[in-house]
Chain A
Amino acid sequence: MKVSLAWLQALVDIHLDGRALADTLTRGGIEVGGIEHLGKGCEDVWIGEIKALTKHPDADKLQICQIDIGTKTLPIVTGANNLQVGDKVPVAVEGAHLPNGLRIKRAKLRGVQSEGMLCSTEELLLDAALGGERSQGGIWILAEDAPVGGKLAAWLGQEDTVLELDLYPNRPDCLAMVNIARETASLTGAALHLPDWAQEDQYRGSSLPVGTETGTLSPIPGVAWTRDCAIEIDDPDLCWRYAGLLVEDVRIAPSPDWLQQRLQAAGVRAINNIVDITNYCMLEMGQPLHAFDRDKITGTVRVRRARAGETLTTLDHVERTLEEGMLLITDDAGPLALAGVMGGLQSEVTSATRRLFVESAHFAGVSIRRTSRRVGLASEAAARFEKGVNPYGAVATLARVAELLLELQAGRPVGLVDTQAYLPALPRVNISVRHTSELLGYLVQSDEIEKILRQLGLVYQKSGTEEFSVEIPSYRSDLRIEEDLIEEVARITGYERIPTTLPQGSQTQGRRTQEQEIRRQLRHLLVGAGMHEVLTYSFARVDQDALWGEAAQAIPLLNPLRDELRTMRTALLPGLLDIASRNRSRRNMDLSIFEIGSVYQAKSAMINELPNEILRLAGVVMGKTKKHWHAAETPYDFYYVKGLVEAIAWKFHLTFHYHVPERSEVYHPGRSAEIWLGNAKIGMMGEMHPLQEKQWDLERAIVLEIDLRPLLQKGGAGIRVSPIPRFPAILRDLSLVVREEIPAVAVNESMRKLGGILLQQVELFDVYAGKSVPDGYKSLTFSLRYQSLDETLTDAQVNKLNERILAGIQQEFGAQQRN
């Protein structure tokens, strides 16, 4: 909502400048998002009169004007050719900084001194239509009555400041100038001077009482009730009230300057006196209006839902086929208008219009919203009905319309109709002094509350000294419960009055749950291991998600941001691969990233309950370790990622097992592994399938994705210590040659079994294939640690065990000792 200070000033005494008023309103809960000074750029533009016009001696296309700007006469060289002696024109003098950014300096043009510039509407960023015919494509020729020597902005009524309000949805009342005036008065203590028509609640009982004769005076001065135009509301759930003003002797003409200027300040284009009056009154009172050509209405004006297949050509010349249930204004001949959204072309007001029917109605916002969305028309009226219009304001606004019609001599109001299907009673809300103090946390006195209620213009009754019963005016639909009134007290007083205290209740201990703690530790573990944490969107591309995740359980969005992101992810990796790919295209070749986040899986094909949200860890590692003088640059590989996985197992005291995967389209079959915890598969790791790499434009990327739920459940297991051995250990190295395909872990496990309790540790520390090892074979070297908790072992004991182990694995794997 754009608020002209000049306009506001007519309704309330403002003794603050724009900035100060904006601050006051904002601190009071009516947020001012911007301040615009209308005359900006026109500070040094004056109204001048052309006294003489001569050809430039050295340039065919230039003329030299002598311009009288009141205080002096200036020579100005111009290239325009629409000028005559005696024309009034805008003159920008030296130092002017025009709205279009141009700075004006004195200059010599082809040897002739020029002291400024004559302006077009374009250079002043004004509507070209302001100029009239002679100004087209040239200098703006002002009206003859423009005062020479005056400031252009002052003459245009542009020395105004406009506040742009960012309103919260609970204050649709502030879409009306009168209510902003009320708010300004409440917050600044300034005096309101609202005319009678602004007191909507005094028009509440204004329906034509049954049996009242036509001709009885209505609440609008000088206007009688009429039955000339019958109104029927067929659907009172969507239309509570429908009122109309009948107008005769209509003379369509441009509006006077003051009205055009106010509309312009509010961001509304002036059209003609009738349209301007309806817009002006809407801005003033918040009530949308629509003027029909009375002579185009036949029979009864009816408010009803559309029937399937009905059509209406709207004001924008579009013929629309209506959907069943859209609210219509009709007459005996058919649809006249889409209620609250847009009028019909057939009943449009034209220059030939002589009689009007001005509609002022209350339509249900829900219906208007639906219709306006369905037909794709977002009119100002529709927006207001959606946000909520005060049903009490209908006739009051027509009173203002009647007044302006007369003032502008645009027509003669002759009759009023008002059909009320439902008008909600005005609620009463109580406010207790004690509750107010308790809720806000400071002592509020009874007379303070009283003063604030008066300042808000609220009528109240006092019960005792402790409680007020407040009658809520129709325009404050946001005040419904005691807390609403307490907020009024707090905001009028100023929130700065609220002290700072701490809750008085019992002390509580802040603590993360086990899951939260493990998640956090996991994040720090991986960061500590040199990985970068990333965050990706939870939306996924269907094809990629299907490859890496569980297509059958994917959850589609009804209204995705972009069509390609139309499903919730069932795997994390595609998001990370996107990042890897993007980084690689930016020449960030080495990277090691992870994300901890949820994937989403439907519980059944029909999504009728909340899906599973499964916390996962995913990682992508690519490229090499840092190039550094101090350590060799090593490429990341499968075993690096396995190391990360093992670090997780170690951190949370778990043991993972790794299995060769059965089949995978996305992992390299020979270079990937399933990760198992107990008897559950919890994830996968390994190189990407070469075909996938190609698709993502990656090279030797090693990826990983793990379901974290088992970790979160089991990872908190208590730690039990084992005794530290007191007797020395004996170390033996054992080099074996085995067939290539024998997994190292199988040999290791076998050795441990054979070694029994005294073999405390078996560690593989060298793998070799090549010279001195036959083809198809590899050499594995283990370090074996023998130790007893009870005694110092002898060489003889250890030798015996070592021989047993060697014999065992020779038998099991055909392994040979290598020397």
Chain B
Amino acid sequence: MVVLLEEVRRIKEETLKRFEDLESLDELQALKVKVLGKKGELTALLRQMGSLSAEERPKFGQVVNEVRDYLESAWEDQLKRLEDLALQSRLKAEKLDISLPAAWLARGYQHPLTRVMEEVEDIFLGMGFQISEGPEIETDYYNFEALNLPKEHPAREMQDSFYITEDILLRTQTSPVQIRTMEKLYPQLPVKIIAPGKVYRKDDDATHSPMFHQVEGLVVDVGIRMSDLKGILLNFCQEMFGPEREIRLRPSFFPFTEPSAEVDVSCMLCAGSGCRICKHTGWLEILGSGMVHPQVLRAGGYDPEKVRGFAFGMGVERIAMLKYGIEDMRLLFDNDIRFLQQF
């Protein structure tokens, strides 16, 4: 028994000593198998228990088990030590130059005009408007006559049109969608739409393009007031240009609205204090609007004695130019990728 106990003690001490010299997890594992495994040294000692007396056996078994527990716990400590060591050395070895450029994920760019149009759409969708669309090639009736612009009306001169036949032309404004929508929806109330789209006029310089984009708006219902127009447009301008924006209405003229108003928004660049962009007035002209002319309501099928409406229209190019500081409208249609990549 003494010999056996001595052997247990030797294994214990030797193992502990070797633990401390170990440097790798593999060696540690191998040592565990060698000493504590099923075919390990301690198990081999237990097999020799047959040579002991019945009294000595449980005692010896107890000693071996104590040593086994002790070594296993020591092994756990070593395991932790070596794992720590391995982690430290891995962390020490693994280093990147984080200043290297990022992997190149696809970078596409939306055109500034569709970007602005989607933004406008989203704001009005949030206010319960539907999006309505109409043809870009229009009849004289929808583009002019139904909008209270009979043939030979001097206001037609405001817009030089592209004609296809005497009666068919490229629409000069998105306003014909007002009539088409009312015709379609009558007698439904309220009518509450915006109509984004392309329009065409015979102009081509730094501030005019022969093709450009407008967003038209129309609300028709019982009891609509001009103050509602002001409220909706204030909401829009604050969403679009920032919550501090104010608007002001100025009398204006459009054949299809009466009263008519030009809408100015306080300059977003100088906050109204005056700068080059707002020509030192603090205000930027941004929208045309007004109460729908009774003739136009009638053309859409509605009775101006029973309902009223307001309408407004804005130039998308102008908003984009203001919003992004674009000075020449032609850049918007030049499509130089160095320009497009800024959006």
Distance of A534 Cα from B204 Cα, bound (Å): 19
A527: which of B108, B227, B251 is its contact (CB, 8 Å)? B108
Knowing A498-B249, A629-B100 are in contact, say whether A555-B190 is a contact too (CB < 8 A).
no
**A819 in contact (CB, < 8 A):** no
- Chain A residues closer than 8 Å to B108, beta-carbon distance: 526-533, 592
Q: List CB contacts (< 8 Å) of A169-184 with chain B.
A: 169-172
Determine whether A501 belongs to the interface, using a CB cutoff of 8 Å to chain B: yes
Cβ of A332 within 8 Å of any chain B Cβ, yes or no, is: no
Query: Which chain B residues border A491 with CB–CB below 8 Å?
Result: 251, 259
A560 to B: closest C-beta gap in Å: 7
Does A387 interact with chain B (Cβ within 8 Å)? Answer: yes
Decide if A535 touches B228 in the complex (CB within 8 Å). no
**Contact at B109–A533, with CB atoms within 8 Å?**
yes
| B-side interface residues, number (CB < 8 Å) | 88
Q: Across the interface, do B225 and A441 meet the contact criterion of CB distance under 8 Å?
A: yes
Complex Cα distance A516/B124, Å?
14
Among the listed B111, B232, B258, B294, which residue makes an inter-chain contact with A487, where contact means beta carbons less than 8 Å apart? B258
Chain B contacts with A in 254-301, Cβ cutoff 8 A: 255, 258-261, 291, 293-294
A534 contacts B335, C-beta separation under 8 Å: yes
Stretch at the interface among A155-163, A226-234, A351-359, A604-612: A604-612
**Which chain A residues (410-439) contact chain B, with CB distance < 8 Å?**
438-439
Which A residues touch B158, using CB under 8 A?
Answer: 169
Docked-complex contact B226 and A440, CB < 8 angstroms = yes
Cβ of B334 within 8 Å of any chain A Cβ, yes or no, is yes
**Residue B113 lies at the interface, judged by CB distance under 8 Å to chain A:** yes
- Nearest CB of A to B9, in Å: 53
A504 contacts chain B at the CB level, 8 A cutoff? yes
Contacts known (A169-B253, A441-B227, A487-B259); A561 close to B336, Cβ less than 8 A: no
Known contacts being A490-B226, A607-B168, is A508 close to B190, with CB within 8 Å?
yes
The interface residues of chain A lying within 8 Å CB-to-CB of B168 are 607, 610
Q: Which residue of B lies closest to A527 (CB)?
A: B108
Q: How far is the CA of A538 from the CA of B211 in the complex (A)?
A: 8
Whole-angstrom distance from the CB of B193 to the nearest CB of chain A?
10
Residue of A387, A511, A520 touching B130 (CB-CB under 8 A): A511
Q: Is A523 part of the binding interface, using a Cβ–Cβ cutoff of 8 Å?
A: yes
A254 to B126, CA, bound (A): 68
In the complex, the answer to whether A487 meets B260 with C-beta atoms within 8 Å is yes
B226 and A533 within 8 A (CB): no
A598 at the A/B interface (Cβ < 8 Å)? yes
For residue B106, CB closer than 8 A to chain A, the reply is yes
Q: Mark A489-500, 1 if CB is under 8 A from B, else 0.
A: 011000110111
Are B109's CB and A527's CB within 8 A?
A: yes
Residue of A170, A611, A630 with most partner-chain B CB within 10 A? A170
Do B163 and A538 have beta carbons less than 8 Å apart? no
A509–B131 CA distance with the chains assembled, in angstroms: 11
Q: Which residue of A lies closest to B133 (CB)?
A: A516
Q: Which of B305-343 contact A (CB under 8 A)?
A: 308, 332-338, 340-341
Tell me if A338 counts as interface (CB < 8 A to partner B): no
Q: Do B190 and A506 touch (CB < 8 A)?
A: yes
A568 to B169, CA, bound (A): 11
Identify which of B131, B138, B202, B204 contacts A513 (C-beta below 8 A): B131
State the CA gap A261–B227 with chains docked (Å): 46
Max chain A Cβ within 10 angstroms of own Cβ: one of B152, B164, B248: B164
Q: How far is the CB of B121 from chain A (nearest CB, A)?
A: 8
Decide yes or no whether B135 CB sits under 8 A from chain A.
Answer: yes
CB within 8 Å for A535 and B165 given contacts A507-B128, A510-B125, A613-B136? no
Are the C-beta atoms of B155 and A169 separated by less than 8 Å?
Answer: yes
- B259 / chain A contacts, CB cutoff of 8 Å: 439, 483, 486-487, 490-491
Question: Which has the most chain B C-beta neighbours within 10 Å: A172, A483, A592, A628?
Answer: A483
A503, B222: Cα distance in complex, Å: 9
Q: When the two chains form their complex, are residues A495 and B261 in contact, meaning their CB atoms are under 8 A apart?
A: yes
Are A490 and B109 interface neighbours, CB within 8 A? no
Who on chain B is nearest to A594 by CB? B108
- In-complex Cβ contact of A629 among B101, B253, B291 (8 A): B101
Q: Tell me the smallest distance from the CB of B192 to a CB of chain A, in Å.
A: 5
CB-based nearest B residue for A596: B114
Judge if B230 is at the interface, Cβ distance under 8 Å. Answer: yes
Q: Which residues of chain A in 71-91 are interfacial with respect to chain B, using CB atoms and an 8 Å cutoff?
A: none
Contacts of B334 on A, CB cut-off 8 Å? 582
B249, A527: Cβ atoms closer than 8 Å: no
Give the CA-CA distance A781 to B135 in the complex, in Å: 51
For A506, what are the chain B residues with a Cβ–Cβ distance below 8 Å? 190
Decide: B249 and A561 in contact? CB cutoff 8 A. no
Chain B residue at minimum C-beta to C-beta distance from A535: B111
Question: Quick check: is A386 within 8 A (CB to CB) of the other chain?
Answer: yes
Contact A501 B227 (CB under 8 A): yes
Bound Cα distance from A586 to B125, whole angstroms? 40
Question: A679 at interface (Cβ–Cβ under 8 A)?
Answer: no
Determine if A26 is an interface residue (Cβ-Cβ < 8 Å). Answer: yes
Contact A535 B335 (CB under 8 A): yes
A760 within 8 A of B: no
A792 → chain B, closest Cβ, in Å? 33
Interface residue from B106, B110, B190 paired with A503 (Cβ < 8 Å): B190
Interface: A468 (CB within 8 A):
no
> B50 to chain A: which residues have CB within 8 Å?
none
Partner among B130, B131, B291 whose Cβ is within 8 Å of the Cβ of A439: B291
B178 touches A (CB below 8 Å):
no
Q: Report Cα–Cα, A519/B125, bound state, in Å.
A: 16
A11 vs chain B, min Cβ distance (A): 22
B39 at the binding interface (Cβ < 8 Å) = no
Chain B positions 61 through 94: 1 when the CB is less than 8 Å from some CB of chain A, otherwise 0? 0000000000000000000000000000000000
- Is A600 in the interface zone, CB < 8 Å from B? yes
Given contacts A491-B251, A532-B340, A629-B100, contact A600 B157 (CB under 8 A): no
Nearest neighbor of A531 in chain B, beta-carbon distance: B108
Is A537 on the interface with B (CB-CB < 8 A)?
yes
Whose C-beta in chain B lies nearest to the C-beta of A512? Answer: B131
CA–CA, A28 and B250, complex, Å:
7
Residue ID in chain A nearest B291 by CB atoms:
A439
A contact residues around B255 at 8 Å (CB):
170
Tell me if A765 counts as interface (CB < 8 A to partner B): no
B152-196, CB under 8 A of A: which get 1 and which 0? 111101100011110010100000000000000000011010000
A562 to chain B, nearest CB (A): 8
Q: Does A7 contact B (CB under 8 A)?
A: no
Q: In the bound complex, do residue B162 and residue A557 qualify as a contact, i.e. CB atoms below 8 Å apart?
A: yes
Which A residue's beta carbon lies closest to that of B105?
A: A530
Contacts of B124 in A (CB 8 A): 510
Which residues of chain A have C-beta atoms less than 8 A from B163's C-beta?
557-559
A526 (CB) vs chain B CBs: closest residue = B108
**Would you call A631 an interface residue if the criterion is a C-beta within 8 Å of the partner chain's C-beta atoms?**
yes
Task: Please report the C-alpha to C-alpha distance between residue A556 and residue B118 in the assembled complex, in whole angstroms.
Answer: 31
Q: A591: CB under 8 A from chain B?
A: yes
Report yes or no: A538 in contact with B200, Cβ–Cβ below 8 A.
Answer: yes
8 A Cβ contacts from A535-563 to B: 535-539, 555-561
- Quick one: closest A residue to B113, CB to CB? A535
A659 on interface, CB distance cutoff 8 Å: no
A637 to B230, CA, bound (A): 53
How long is the Cα–Cα vector from A112 to B107 in the complex, in angstroms? Answer: 71
Please pick, from B231, B248, B252, B336, the residue contacting A496 in the complex, using a CB distance under 8 A.
Answer: B248
Q: Are the CB atoms of B227 and A510 closer together than 8 Å?
A: no
Contact A441:B226 (CB < 8 A) given known A495-B250, A520-B118: yes
Q: A490-B259, A502-B228, A558-B165 are in contact. List 20 more A-B contacts (CB 8 A).
A: A29-B252, A170-B155, A439-B291, A441-B228, A481-B258, A484-B258, A487-B259, A501-B227, A501-B231, A502-B232, A503-B231, A510-B127, A511-B130, A523-B110, A527-B109, A537-B211, A583-B337, A611-B137, A613-B137, A631-B104
Query: Could you pull out 7 A-B pairs where Cβ atoms are within 8 angstroms?
Result: A438-B223, A499-B230, A501-B227, A506-B190, A523-B110, A557-B164, A586-B336
- A-binding residues in B (CB < 8 A): 100-104, 106-111, 113-114, 118, 121, 124-131, 133, 135-139, 152-155, 157-158, 162-165, 168, 170, 189-190, 192, 198, 200, 202, 204, 210-211, 219, 221-228, 230-232, 234-235, 248-253, 255, 258-261, 291, 293-294, 308, 332-338, 340-341
